Copies of this chain bind each other. A is one copy, B any other.
């Protein structure tokens, strides 16, 4: 078990590395050459560079020579706070602003909890001497003397812990309720104040049944003209455009090479660039590059045009999915929320995701397969959650020093050094977890994609849910109860349901030091490294040196990313879980968590302003999940405390705790019925009010023209040839056509 010295060592290491990261960031961010790495958001918005810096000479374009700016170390922190919430929503969207609210909720919940717990529980725990009796047999750290383990069994002092658990639960619920209310209000205001959006007029229809003798477009037109006669204006059929997308990508690549060759020729007009004709330009006859690429382009354009004709004429390319548009928000809201036909698996309507949010590839999955796919994925997730732990346990057993010495005996003299020993014990277990967790989100995202959700935002939410289960079982439970997942699953199945919280509850106080280390590694040092953006920095400069040929390439070398919600949400939820579970058991963990929330809030606020650029806008649709998982954490903390106290023989008092889970579940149900519909449906009153306002302010608005190609596959947007595009549009009108490719991503 790690001692307080190990913990101190770990704290020093993590604080030093955090400061090193911050210092490096302070220096690097003010170098103009790194602007695209640290301020990509501003480039994406078309306002590159902060205005305050001048560009007097060429050197200043790459290195900052103004000494004063170096002195403002940590100057980014006040900058990050300067922007008001309203400006932030305007600047970065509601998703980002709501994401930051999670940190605020963390601070709001845990700040009063920390004061209460440190002032009430810690003195009570310290006043007891349970562990001093036991310590002859057991090596206990000083941290444990501040925890509930130090209270003597049968003690009346457990009442304090029970009362505190009640107080913490009520406070947490109070904060959660207010925040749900607040986020709901923000969402509604955002939707009401926003300018016209195409997705407010559009409904996605899945599983259109085939009508013999009619094309899908005719079927759709006929169905909606019959059943929504007053508001239906048209639809965009979706066509399978895999090959087409591939050709367009190829054309783009050739165009790039042509640009490069022309650039080269401009610089050295005396020598026309040449290349070999064959594979990768390595074999075959040497030809003039510019001519070759121009020739290729012409050829590709021909093939694209013929492929395009094929897609349009071939009825098989049309998928039984369509984006149906209405002349008013009211009409779309009605269609999205109602059942269309007797057979509820046909003509499935739902709000269309924002065009950027659509995950095109999944549009073509038939409804029958969806439920089978979800069954398979559920089983796989279960297997992944419980069997992935085997390698982690193996590595953790290595990180255990005795195990390490056994496997690599030659390391013994090194390991026995006191500094290294502390370092390894403080740092390695956390690190092993981190490494393993690195590839996981990608795997989980692929699984979510297989499940067939239509929008990127729901894919991310599903991935976050899977990741949360994983973290809960493998990081939280896996760290508390040692042993493989197999063994755990086995013991859960063969233990009484009342025994499980006892088994876990008893181990909880002993693992406090481990989780403190984990918080310092993952919550302090990692967050500091987040702001440094080491990986994008290195990659950008490498690309700049070797690959970038044109200005367009440079732009592509650093396109701004979204916040990684599938990873960040579950991680944040783990901190809530740790905080709530340990608030009563080992309150000294709370300051560490609070530091994390405050520091991460600053860092992410800065990043959201300067770095991240959300690909889509779901208007905070993930909040119900955040709320639900914090409630789940609360329930877990109550059950574990119940288990822990029941081993302390304070049985008459612990029965009082049984009321808490019931009340918490009821609170959750109430919140769900009160707030969740606002995140799933669009109320008719709002839709009607917005429609009326718009009709009054813009009486001549042509909604049909506005919506004409809103849901065109992005492949056609990036494809700049407007003459060709005009043809595409003309061919598809009055009902527009949209396209799927096999990759699902914008090229």
Query: How many copies of the chain does the oligomer comprise?
Result: 2
A670 is an interface residue with CB less than 8 A from chain B = yes
For the residues of A in contact with B, the DSSP-based class is: helix
Binary per-residue interface labels of chain A (677-690) against chain B in the complex, 1 for a CB within 8 Å, 0 otherwise: 11001111110100
- Chain B neighbourhood of A497, CB < 8 A: 492-493, 496-497
How far, in whole Å, are A666 and B683 apart by their CA atoms in the complex?
Answer: 32
Q: Restricting to A640-683, which residues have a CB under 8 Å from any CB of B? A: 662, 666, 669-670, 673-678, 681-683
- Chain B neighbourhood of A688, CB < 8 A: 226-227
A338 is an interface residue with CB less than 8 A from chain B = yes
**Interface range for A:** 35 or more
Given A371-B673, A669-B371, do A685 and B340 touch, yes or no (CB 8 Å)? yes
User: Contact between B338 and A681 (Cβ–Cβ < 8 Å)?
Assistant: yes
Chain B minimum-CB-distance residue to A187: B342
A344 contacts which of B330, B338, B494, B677 (Cβ < 8 Å)? Answer: B677
Chain B minimum-CB-distance residue to A333: B338
- Chain B neighbourhood of A230, CB < 8 A: 230
User: Contact between B227 and A685 (Cβ–Cβ < 8 Å)?
Assistant: yes
User: Contact between A674 and B342 (Cβ–Cβ < 8 Å)?
Assistant: no
A684 contacts which of B338, B492, B673 (Cβ < 8 Å)? Answer: B338
A334 is an interface residue with CB less than 8 A from chain B = yes
Min CB distance A253 to B, Å, is: 44
Binary per-residue interface labels of chain A (200-223) against chain B in the complex, 1 for a CB within 8 Å, 0 otherwise: 000000000000000000000001
How far, in whole Å, are A173 and B184 apart by their CA atoms in the complex?
Answer: 42
How far, in whole Å, are A161 and B453 apart by their CA atoms in the complex?
Answer: 40
Min CB distance A621 to B, Å, is: 15
Min CB distance A333 to B, Å, is: 7
Chain B minimum-CB-distance residue to A370: B673
- Chain B neighbourhood of A340, CB < 8 A: 683-685
A178 is an interface residue with CB less than 8 A from chain B = no
A371 contacts which of B334, B344, B496, B666 (Cβ < 8 Å)? Answer: B666
- Chain B neighbourhood of A223, CB < 8 A: 685
How far, in whole Å, are A206 and B670 apart by their CA atoms in the complex?
Answer: 17
Given A230-B230, A498-B493, do A379 and B681 touch, yes or no (CB 8 Å)? no
Min CB distance A620 to B, Å, is: 14
User: Contact between A670 and B371 (Cβ–Cβ < 8 Å)?
Assistant: yes
- Chain B neighbourhood of A371, CB < 8 A: 666, 669-670, 673
- Chain B neighbourhood of A662, CB < 8 A: 375, 379
Given A493-B496, A673-B344, do A683 and B337 touch, yes or no (CB 8 Å)? no
A34 is an interface residue with CB less than 8 A from chain B = no
- Chain B neighbourhood of A379, CB < 8 A: 662
A339 is an interface residue with CB less than 8 A from chain B = yes
User: Contact between A342 and B496 (Cβ–Cβ < 8 Å)?
Assistant: no
User: Contact between A684 and B227 (Cβ–Cβ < 8 Å)?
Assistant: yes
8 smallest beta-carbon distances between A and B, as pairs: A344-B677, A339-B681, A494-B496, A337-B338, A341-B685, A493-B498, A375-B666, A339-B683
> Which residues of chain A have a CB within 8 Å of any CB of chain B?
184, 188, 223, 226-228, 230, 330, 333-334, 337-345, 347, 371, 375, 379, 492-499, 662, 666, 669-670, 673-678, 681-686, 688
List 7 additional A-B contacts (Cβ < 8 Å) besides A228-B684, A342-B678, A496-B499. A184-B342, A227-B685, A338-B681, A339-B684, A340-B684, A371-B670, A375-B666
